[in-house]
Structure 1
Amino acid sequence: MQCIGRRLVAAVVVVLAVTACHADERSPSVSMATILLRQANLADDQAAKSLVLKAQALLAGVRRPGPEARELKRVCETYLKAVAVFWPNDRLRGSEQAERLFRDFGPRNPLYLQGLLYQGRHHHWRAVEGNYPQGIAISRKMFETILRHNPGHRIARMYLGRPVQPVPADLESVSDDAPEWAVAAREAMYWTRRMVHWWLDHRQAADGQLGGGWSDDVEFSKTWSFYSLSLNDRKVREALTRIADNIWHCPEVMNGYFSGTPAKWHLVDVEHGAEWMSFSQPQMMLARYGDPRYIERNMQVIRNMGFLSGINPAGHRHFKAYYFSHELLHPRQLYHCDVPENGRHTKPGIYVMWYARHPRVMQWCREWGDAWVDHSLETKRGKPAGAIPSETVYETDPVGGQFRKVVSHRRLSRI
């Protein structure tokens, strides 16, 4: 009898434990967390993250979670980890890692559509920026799946090129006699400024980076001084200061030029080598007018033109190459040509001329500009007069470079 009694007590304990677990499994916290995750699945990414965090907090309070609660906790943790790695300084590596994490989010996953949203972004931008054309079709299927469940999803609609409901601008009303162009320009400024502020509030790191690496970050932010000048926008001015100062003090920068590291200097093409300085430092002479730090930095950058360019036997000033570092020219003869893109290196000098009319910088830039005018007016090698040549060999001065490509490439418009 005593043995039977002990067995009965043990059985009761087991039943109570199972019942307690079952009760926690179906507790209001688990039910509410499930509802929140379903809402997050259909929301935009910012609202979704907030809802997932609330669901995670509810699940953390479940004392003895059963299989369903444990699975929901795993879903929350995976989602939050993937979102966190999606926006690092190295965006490609981060989005690849996030895409791998979201692969396990099948149609039965409560955050399935959120997984498709981030995977679709990854495939789309990998296709846009690299040799991956199939990524467009892959991403379209993902965004179309999202719209089947939520036809009004703004981000998915924008990726598919479909119209979205405009958000009203929060602006004071204007007088009836205000010019139409001024009203339109005012609203355009409002929206572009809001876009800039969104990036600063949600993406800019403490060191100023925006997530695309310094090369792309400066291309993105190179026109933002407009808001500092026209609206005295302190947030933008401080953001541009963080970008300019942290780039200037990067170990990859030496003597005002991107050059790799002191252990190994890199010889890079001027388009990618010059943009670090030319798209960050000159506009600081506008955003922080009169600040000697930025005046001197731009003077230091353009001082390199004395080494990088020279007067050739034909009497023209040209850059000696278009692959170089702060102190080295590329050894291959193929790159010993001047190209219109070298104008990107002269941008700091243009601001120095504007600010101080520096005589040496003015001489260098005038001589370089005159040389390109002369070549543009030439009709050699079948080039029509007025067409800017694609490149000019430094030593011998013929247009067209080593391969005799006479007409300038389309990147001239980006200088």
Structure 2
Amino acid sequence: MKPITINTLLALVATCWGASFARSAEAEAKHRWRWDCGTADSPVMPGYRRLTAADQYDEQRGYGWETPRAIDKVFPQPTVDRTLQGSAGQEIMFAYATSCRTDLTTDGVVSETDLVFRLDVPDGKYRVVLTVGDMSQAIGSMDVKINNQLVVPHLAVWGRGNYRMFIQNPGPWWRTIRATADAREGALRIVLSKNQSYYDTELARQAQWETPYARWYHRTPIIQKPPYVFIGAPFVHNSLMAIEVSPHVPPPLMGDHDRDSIELTLAIDSPALNEAVACYNRGDFSRAIRTLDQVREPDAAVAKALLQLWVAGRLETESERALVPAAVETLRDHVGRHPHDLAVADILTDAEIYLRAWDYHATRGQLGKNHFNENNKAINWWLLIGRDSPLYYKSQLHLVRAARMLVPYFPTIATEEAIFKVLEAKCPDNRFVRYHLYQEWENTGDGSGYYDWVMEDYASKAQDAPPWVQAIYPAYAGLVDLSEWWIRFRQEPEGTIGGGWGDDVEMVGLFGYYGYISRDASELCLQGASKLVDGVWNLSEVDPERGYCAPIADAEHTAEWTGNTLGMMMQIDYGNPIWIERSMKTGKLIRDLWTGIDDRGRRHFRSNFFGASAVGAGDQANDSREVRNLTATFYRGDPKLGGAKIGSRTIDRLEAPIDLEPRVHTVMVPHVIEGDPQDIHVVLDAENTIRDEITDFNNVAHALLPRPHVESPTRKKTGGSMRRGR
């Protein structure tokens, strides 16, 4: 073997933050190996060397694969599978994952057998960074070892793959694995190998459970097959996107989650910094934060920033919104001047990822965004922060809170419950953990801050009042307080409150009506309602000239923007010509666009799919979901009144309305039998899983009706004998 020469000065750790560190970092830079794994003609990330599957280990070269059957590939686009339960939103998250590809992650070297890479180095301690993943699919059940030391067991690499359910149908993403490895006998050997034993064992164990989703309100649990709690992913193949190796040089401050301690690796002359470290190690995090404000020495700036991140990452603190940006500003400046300080650069990368995730989460209600999708994106980025990061536990807290926002049912179950349990073991008194696990409320703060939890005891104030007051007053006053909290802390200048306009309007009635029921109870509520409604009219999906939601969709949902707002404003701001004019615009659409007069002189809606400028053709579904294996039965008249069955068949794929639970439903379909209008009752025996795709129920049902009876003068499509009416 031909060893690679390394500057022996790297074995010495600098004892001060100055010239000694600069020389150490410079020497480290000369012995840094970075490979972008991929094909011979795919792009290579700047600063990396190309590494293809053909680069087998060569003693003279000193590195290469020890896996003859490895292949290199550019990962194809992920495939949307609409047959999967819970696949709604899959195409959105897959497209987002694709948009996040870089030259580093778009390709890789993969193997269905052990994937082994060898690098010849002098004996010593090294920093090893691996980028693992497949941007076409989720992969899992991989053990990662370096020189026979297990670094990560049964690794799963995945991202969010659907609209709401946390682990269902995972999608493509990547993971960064960092480790400190000891090189012995002149080499580092990195091995990814299949280990599906944990996945198989846990899958079999969970198969014996009653589904935890039975604890929710659905008659038939929405998930009936394991895994219910995250166990990783089955093995597909081993896949490396990038490899980076450099001599280990620690940052000036290091922490340990297991020991709950931090330590300075350099002697820094800063009494305040050393006191802040001592405060952290004895668990006095509030004092540590206050003491950090006193750190002024330039040589202590980087260590101070690192300690800010460690304090911000504690579950006992809630100061991350101030501490993380402050630390990032310092570390960006330092890494810009010392680009070879890789240990600090790694921590900076995690902090920037944390802020990126937080930005998705915090701005999820802005115009043009969807709060489900933005929370999903935030979760993806928080998943990238590993346990070696000072921000790991705080990232876990925020990602599981975001996951709960996607499906905010109580009790907290399944994977979300499991994550909260881990966080509870780390910090039993964290108020978010206790709220989501046990619905325990703890008054916090005085109400002047975003994260203050203050609930006034209105019941005690009404204890001497009549019974009806005791029943109504606490609920009313509490809801006024809740409304004012949203307006103070969540309402943006343009009026949105964070859920996207289409969902914000479902809360505006709380503001408007509760501020109006008792005059002068809350002028803030009335102002907030008016601001939100103005924002909906001028900045949302509403076409303000036509007076209705511009996109064409089902009536229930397109009506939300105006239906939940204009009627309320007509009442609480009576006589204001603004609301009268806007309501008249919507009324004009009802008269001139959405409805028409049939041959019998009756006004009917042309379709239940429409928008501000168009009407759907024929009967459209009200935002339907697909239900498999249903039975459709057709009757002459109401079967409860003795109607005769005229047809019955099992349908493998039939569409049903969005609010269908897996239970028997009867849907009336207007029909003509022997010249008389009657209702055909379509009976849906929905005992199987509800699907998430938005499809068309009514058209399918009509297509199944006996042909001689299909046409109905009351349900003709736009045009024909349906004419515009006044």
TM above 0.5: yes
CA 1:151/1:59 → structure 2, altered by over 3 Å: closer, same or farther?
Answer: same
Change (3 A) 1:164 1:247: closer
Whole-Å separation in 1 of the counterparts to 2:316 and 2:398 = 11
Greater strand percent: which structure?
2
2:357 is the counterpart of 1:85: no
Q: Which residue identity does 2:581 align to in structure 1?
A: E
Match of 2:501 in 1: 214
Structure 1 contact 256–301 (Cα < 8 Å) conserved = yes
Partner in structure 1 of residue 91 of structure 2: none
Does the alignment pair 1:259 with 2:259?
A: no
Cα contact 1:45–1:114 (8 A) shared by 2: no
The 8 Å contact of residues 312 and 394 in structure 1, kept in 2 or not, is answered as: no
| 1:110 aligns to 2:390 (yes or no) | yes
TM-score w.r.t. structure 2 length?
0.40
Tell me by how many angstroms 1:163 deviates.
Answer: 3.2
* 1:262-309 CA distance string (max 9 Å, x none): xxxxx3110111111101222112332221100221122123222323
Match of 2:562 among 261, 277, 281: 277
Pairwise CA distance, 1:153: 2.2
1:201 matched to 2:488? The reply is yes
Aligned 1:194-343 pairs, distance under 5 A: 194-229=481-516, 230=518, 232=520, 233-250=522-539, 252-253=542-543, 254-260=545-551, 267-307=552-592, 308-313=594-599, 316-331=602-617, 333-335=618-620
Residue 304 to residue 174, structure 1, CA distance change in 2 (3 Å): same
In the alignment, residue 271 of structure 1 is paired with which amino acid?
E
1:18 paired residue among 17, 20, 30: 20
Q: CA deviation at 1:258?
A: 1.0
How many aligned positions are there? 339
2:473 maps to 186
% identity of equivalent residues: 23
Q: Distance in 1 between matches of 2:435 and 2:468?
A: 26
1:381 paired residue among 638, 659, 673: 638
Q: Deviations over 1:82-129 (max 9, x none)?
A: 212212222234323322322232333222221112221333344569
TM-aligned CA deviation for residue 228 of structure 1: 2.3
CA contact (8 A) 1:312 1:397 kept: no
Q: CA deviation at 1:321?
A: 1.8
Q: Are the equivalent residues in 2 in contact too, given 1:321–1:394 (CA < 8 A)?
A: no
Cα drift, residue 259 of structure 1 = 2.1
Change in 2 beyond 3 A, CA 1:149/1:13: closer
Q: Tell whether the 8 Å contact from 1:127 to 1:136 is kept in structure 2 after alignment.
A: no
Question: Is the Cα contact below 8 Å between 2:360 and 2:377 reproduced in 1?
Answer: yes
The residue correspondences of 1:376-415 to structure 2 (distance < 5 A) are: 380-382=637-639, 390=667, 393=670, 398-400=678-680, 403=701
Q: Does structure 1 residue 150 correspond to structure 2 residue 427?
A: yes
CA deviations over 1:298-323 (Å, ceiling 9, x no partner): 12212322232345445654323211
Cα deviation, 1:235-277, whole Å, max 9, x if unaligned, reads 22222222222222346525111123xxxxxx31101111111
How far the C-alpha of 1:26 sits from its partner, in A, is 7.4
Q: CA RMSD in A?
A: 4.4
Change (3 A) 1:36 1:247: same
> Once the two structures are superposed, what CA deviation does each residue of 1:49-97 show, in whole Å capped at 9, x if it has no partner?
2454566678799999977766655554443332122122222343233
Say which SS state the counterpart of residue 440 (structure 2) adopts: coil
* Cα distance, 1:259–1:18 mapped onto 2, change above 3 Å: same
SS of the aligned residue for 1:318 comes to strand
Query: Given the superposition, is the C-alpha separation of residues 18 and 180 from structure 1 closer, same or farther in structure 2, using an over 3 Å criterion?
Result: farther
Q: 1:38 to 1:189 in 2, by over 3 A?
A: farther
Deviation for aligned residue 1:19: 7.8
Residues 70, 381 of structure 1: alpha-carbon distance in 2 compared, 3 angstrom cutoff: same
Alpha-carbon distance between aligned partners in 2 of 1:15 and 1:257, rounded to the nearest angstrom: 63
Which 5+ residue runs of structure 1 have no aligned equivalent? 1-11, 130-134, 261-266, 340-378, 406-415
Partners of 1:394 and 1:320 lie apart in 2 by 16
Q: Distance in 1 between matches of 2:320 and 2:17?
A: 38
Q: Per the alignment, do residues 393 and 87 of structure 1 end up closer, same or farther by CA in structure 2, a change over 3 Å counting?
A: farther
